[in-house]
Structure 1
Amino acid sequence: MAPQLGPHELMHVFSFLEARDLLRAAQVNKVWNEVAMTKELWRQLCLRRWASCNAFPMVVGTQTWRQYYFCRSELEFRVESGRPQDFISKAVSGHTGKIDQLAYVTPHEYRFDERAKSVVCTVSSDCTVRAWDLHEGAEIWSSPVQPAPLMSLVAYPLLQLVVTVDTQGLIIGWKAETGSLWASFCLPTFCSSMEACGHSEGPFLMVACAEGNLYTLTVPQLQVVSKVATFSHTSVSLTCSPDQQWVFAFAQGSDLGPKVFYTQSLLYPSEDGLPVSTSLPVRLSSRACWAPEEAARLMVMHRDVRGTHLVITTFDLKARKSRDRVNTLEQQLASFPLPNTMTPHLMQGHGSQVILLASRSELVLFTIHGLQLMAFQDHQRPITSMWVDPTRVITSSLDLSLRVYLWNKKNTCPVLKSCYQLPGGSHRWASGFTHVKSDSMSIAGVEARSNGTSILRSYCYKVQLG
């Protein structure tokens, strides 16, 4: 009679199996069942399948690794299928004005135990900020009515903090769980841009105001660390690099070249008060985005030397540190002109080489060298917002629909597949979607109503939690 394999030998053999084969092996006998259900085998299965996704982190929580594997597999199937039975859609109302921005305040993670939830905050012209449970379709809390309409917000999910700014420049930090006020700071003029940034030294807030100054504030205290001039008396837009080491600032349509600031010099100002920065050799810039899989790769849309054609130029940024100073190094990697037929109003990066542009109702993908990868004409009216993450792209449109696209990771060159449409409400009452955001288990869209107000419309994928 052939010798039987012991538990250690079985564990080694089973480590090469996929989930379906492990389940079949578990039916052979008691010993095989015990080995096939081992925590370490299912942990390795999860890591082998998802650890390299570069998406949201895996959080097992109170589940077993086997429960986690099947929950996430079910979620992937439903996200790819997009059938009506794969998600629950809810219209969530409460604001009496127009919703100007939304942000998820729950951590972006793949979690399927009893603590899994999706919470967003919204700001509105009705002078309130509100928090919503998307799965329940219910309001969690609403702030008191503020002195002026709220125009923007950013979230710090790990701190459970949301920061808002109103049309008069009043910045307030709110506790995301309860809605109680945490801290406040008032700008001398209205805010033109606000950006949440993380850093090895801790999170901070970047704010540009209408007079052209850039403020760096501590979080959650909202105390000023530094104040520097960017562009005089003009509205400035800000965006932080993926490694949080750089802040890009530009004034739309300005002849002045956009600036890039080294964040360490904003957090720890020098005695002379001058931050480490550089001006990029482009003019009349209108849009910019970072390549999410590179530390500091910046794509800038601008006009050519004659000011007649739109061009996208890509730079890599580095900081060279010496004993007593830091020098910035910007290397131009590529530059290409856009077709004259395109007038992009939205721009996002994917991976390290891909640029997504929304031009009217069309979604177009280019490489940083100008090769057009694909174009989609799924919407009947202009695209208003675009969400891009490592697994999906979601667009919102004035045609009252959201469109879901999925990346095909098996291809060497990124391939985006148009999958399905998520409809909004009735055209009788609604005028289209204006914003869209997503986390691992839900999609939230802002639906504008014909009477000038807005509602949230949530789409939560059905997963049988652990």
Structure 2
Amino acid sequence: MEFQLPELPLSQIFSFLDSFSLLQAAQVNKQWRTVANSNQLWKRLYVWRWPDSKLSCGCDGLVKEWKKSYLRMTRHERQMTLAKADDFSYKEASEEEGTMGLTAYVWKNDPEIVGMTPVICSVSSIKRLYAWDVQTVGDITGDIYTFTLPDLTQISKVKAFQFRVDVLLCSPHKQWMFACGLQQHTFSRAKWIPNRDSKIVLMYQRIPKKIGLMTLSLTTKKIGKKTNVEAREVGNFLLPDHIDSSNWMGVSEEELIVLGSGPYLFIFTTNGFLLRQVDDHLTGIMHLRVDHIRVLATTMDGTLHLYVWEEGGRYPYLKKCCELKFVSSNFTLDRYFYDVICDNDSIVRVVSSETTGFSILMLYTLKTSLQS
């Protein structure tokens, strides 16, 4: 006689599965298919994978079937991995009164919301805010401010340090906030591991001209009315001697660390095992943007190199998609800096000259959907 678990404990077991395993479970029998297709399970997967999506932030009433939404978003997310340089349209905007700094999406494109388009914001050196996506901001006096959206009403002000805040990073699911000042700390970079909300990788320098990478797992422990934060070291290594000092670092969902050093990309495990060296760049890497799908490397000649992570962390780990050349006729590449962001349909980068104070906002958008 076939024994069947009640649906409630079966649903609790299925809550530990990823999307692929959940799809497989749905093929077993009618009861498993009913439970595996439940909105509750697929909503959990959706919100966990895309915590910044509008559907994850209060618009979930628009969704009737979370499984369909999850699968549609996954297909949409992968469309840029098929893109070539000719598949992008190009626009630019300039700012001559002050260099533009870090740029962020107010919201990204979401295929579940009809008519929604990506909106970005940037702050210039003359303190001009180009949009209103400012949730948490650090200042030169060491204070961290929290604001509401979109009216920018101040909620709180916390004194974090006696010196300025240079690095301020919110974890993917908004549970943690990492802050430090580069002048007083040996940390030069910090990256949260995508979809691993309590893990962060820190780049540090302890020995002259030697760079190290430390991975921490964070937990909270409540003692009486006080909550303590505990950081457990789960990986730590120094870069090999043949790798020059690196200023750029990112982490994949499979906990692979990618570094930019000179014209090369290096891929490590969190314990320091070198998996691959990517050497298809002609000039040095000036900027690196990494998320759970893509790696965007900008080189000194202005070229933007688009890579995607191989699924499951398989060899060769990174796959080259295309190169987007620097095409602006209004800008001379002398002394400059970059910032690059992207969503499923667009890539935005800011190029700012340190000598002239002139900035260009460069927007690459997919012309048509490449989904099958």
TM-score, structure 1 normalization: 0.58
Please tell me whether the aligned partners of residues 75 and 462 of structure 1 are also in contact (alpha carbons under 8 angstroms).
no
For each residue in 1:238-272, what CA deviation from the matched residue of structure 2 results, as whole angstroms up to 9, or x when unmatched? Answer: 32333433333333253xxx6xxxxxxxxxxxxxx
Q: Displacement, 1:90?
A: 2.0
1:320-399 to structure 2, matched below 5 A, reads: 320-340=221-241, 341-351=243-253, 353-399=255-301
Match of 2:159 among 228, 237, 240: 228
2:347 alignment partner in structure 1:
443
Following TM superposition, by how much is the alpha carbon of 1:118 offset from its aligned partner in structure 2, in angstroms? Answer: 2.0
Match of 1:110 in 2: 110
Task: Give CA deviations for 1:351-371 in whole Å, capped at 9, x if unaligned.
Answer: 252222222332222111001
Deviation at residue 409 of structure 1 after TM alignment = 1.0
Q: Which amino acid aligns with 1:344?
A: S
Preserved contact between residue 85 and residue 323 of structure 2 (Cα < 8 Å): no
Give the distance between the partners of 1:358 and 1:330, measured in 2 at CA. 27
Give the secondary structure class of the aligned counterpart of 1:80.
Answer: helix
- Cα deviation code 1:333-360 (max 9, x no counterpart): 1211112332111222222522222223
> Once the two structures are superposed, what CA deviation does each residue of 1:122-178 show, in whole Å capped at 9, x if it has no partner?
3334654335xxxxxxxxxxxxxxxxxxxxxxxxxxxxx323xxxxxxxxxxxxxxx
C-alpha distance in structure 1 between counterparts of 2:130 and 2:165, whole Å? 27
Structure with greater Cα Rg: 1
CA distance in 2, matches of 1:359, 1:423: 20
Letter in 1 for 2:103: L
Contact 2:192–2:200 (8 Å) recurs in 1: yes
Q: CA, structure 1 residues 73+315, in 2 after alignment: closer, same or farther (shift >3 Å)?
A: closer
For residues 250 and 58 of structure 1, the distance between their equivalents in structure 2, rounded to whole angstroms, comes to 29
- Residue in structure 1 matched with residue 368 of structure 2 by the alignment: 463
Structure 1: tracts of 5 or more residues without a match: 1-41, 132-160, 164-195, 197-204, 259-283
Given that 1:100 and 1:122 are in contact with CA atoms closer than 8 Å, whether structure 2 keeps it comes out as yes
Q: 1:428 to 1:414 in 2, by over 3 A?
A: same
**8 A contact 2:303–2:326 mirrored in 1:** yes
Secondary structure at the aligned position of 1:130 is classed as: coil
Taking the aligned partners of 1:365 and 1:217, their CA distance within structure 2 comes to 35
Contact 1:208 1:238 in 2 (8 A): no
Superposition pairs of residues 65-104 of structure 1, within 5 angstroms: 76-77=78-79, 79-93=80-94, 95-104=96-105
Distance in structure 1 (CA, Å) of the matches to 2:72 and 2:181: 48
1:162 to 124, 133, 142: 133
Are 2:182 and 1:252 aligned?
Answer: yes
Q: Distance in 1 between matches of 2:155 and 2:64?
A: 43
Counterparts in 2 of 1:359 and 1:337: CA distance versus 1, 3 Å: same
Q: Secondary structure at the match of 1:348?
A: strand
* Contact map agreement 1:398 1:434 (CA 8 A) in 2: no
Residue in structure 2 matched with residue 288 of structure 1 by the alignment: 190
Residues 216 and 446 of structure 1, relative CA distance in 2, 3 Å threshold: closer
1:382 CA displacement: 3.4
Name the CA shift for 1:447/1:241 in 2 (closer, same or farther; >3 Å): closer
Matched, 1:124 2:124: yes
CA displacement, residues 357-397 of structure 1 (integer Å, 9 cap, x when unaligned): 22233222211100122222343333333222222111223
1:134 aligned partner:
none
- Indicate whether 1:54 and 2:54 are aligned: no
DSSP 3-state at the match of 1:117: coil
**Counterpart selection for 1:407 from 309, 312, 316:** 309
Check the 8 A contact 2:340/2:347 in 1, yes or no.
yes
CA distance in 2, matches of 1:71, 1:322: 41
Post-superposition CA distance 1:7-54 (Å, at most 9, x none): xxxxxxxxxxxxxxxxxxxxxxxxxxxxxxxxxxx999xx7xx96993
Aligned ranges 1:311-326 → 2 under 5 Å = 311-326=212-227
Do the aligned partners of 2:251 and 2:291 also contact (CA within 8 Å) in 1?
no
Task: Give the TM-score taking structure 2 as reference length.
Answer: 0.70
For residues 194-213 of structure 1, the aligned pairs below 5 Å read 196=135, 205-210=136-141, 213=142
Q: Could you say what the CA RMSD is over the residues aligned between the two structures, in angstroms? A: 4.0
Structure 2 residue aligned with 1:430: 332
1:229 shift after superposition: 4.7
Moved more, 449-458 or 289-298: 449-458
Contact 1:215 1:226 in 2 (8 A): yes
From the superposition, tell whether residues 407 and 322 of structure 1 become closer, same or farther in structure 2 (CA, over 3 Å): same
Deviation readout 1:93-132 (Å, 9 max, x if unpaired):
45544222322122x343176413122223334654335x
% identical aligned pairs: 25
Task: Report how many aligned residue pairs link the two structures.
Answer: 319
Per-residue CA distance 1:281-313 (angstroms, 9 max, x = gap): xxx332222212222112222234x55632212
More RCO (CA 8 Å, sep 6+): 2
